[in-house]
Amino acid sequence: MAARTDQVTDPAIAAALLLARRGQAYYSRKLNELSDADFDGPTLLGDWDRRHLIAHVGLNARAITRLVEWARTGVETPMYASPEQRADEIDFSATLPAHALRNLSDHAAIHLTVEWRDLPAEAWTNEVRTGLGRIVPVSETVWMRTREVWIHAVDLGNGGRFEDFPPELLDALLADILGAWDRRRDAEGLPRYLLDVVDRDGDPLGAETDAGSVRDEEELVVRGTAAALTRWATGRGADGVLTGRGEPASPAPRWL
Smallest distance from the beta carbon of 67 to Zn ion, in angstroms? 15
Cβ-closest position to Zn ion: 148
> Which one, 48 or 124, has the nearer CB to Zn ion?
48
> Which one, 244 or 253, has the nearer CB to Zn ion?
253
> Which one, 133 or 212, has the nearer CB to Zn ion?
133
Of 32, 70, 62, which is closest to residue 160 (Cα–Cα)? 32
User: Any idea what DSSP says for residue 126?
Assistant: -
- Cα separation, 125 vs 151, in Å, equals 26
> Which one, 55 or 205, has the nearer CB to Zn ion?
55
Footprint of Zn ion (CB under 5 A): 148
Contacts of 36 (CB under 8 A, 6+ apart): 98, 99
- Cα separation, 219 vs 214, in Å, equals 10
> Which one, 215 or 254, has the nearer CB to Zn ion?
254
Of 203, 201, 226, which is closest to residue 214 (Cα–Cα)? 203
Smallest distance from the beta carbon of 58 to Zn ion, in angstroms? 11
- Cα separation, 207 vs 197, in Å, equals 12
Radius of gyration of the chain (CA): 19
Smallest distance from the beta carbon of 52 to Zn ion, in angstroms? 10
CB 205, CB 197: distance < 8 Å = yes
CB 152, CB 28: distance < 8 Å = no
Smallest distance from the beta carbon of 2 to Zn ion, in angstroms? 29
Smallest distance from the beta carbon of 148 to Zn ion, in angstroms? 5
> Which one, 139 or 146, has the nearer CB to Zn ion?
146
Smallest distance from the beta carbon of 181 to Zn ion, in angstroms? 19
Largest distance between two CA atoms of the chain: 62
CB 116, CB 70: distance < 8 Å = no
Smallest distance from the beta carbon of 149 to Zn ion, in angstroms? 9
- Cα separation, 63 vs 211, in Å, equals 42
> Which one, 115 or 148, has the nearer CB to Zn ion?
148
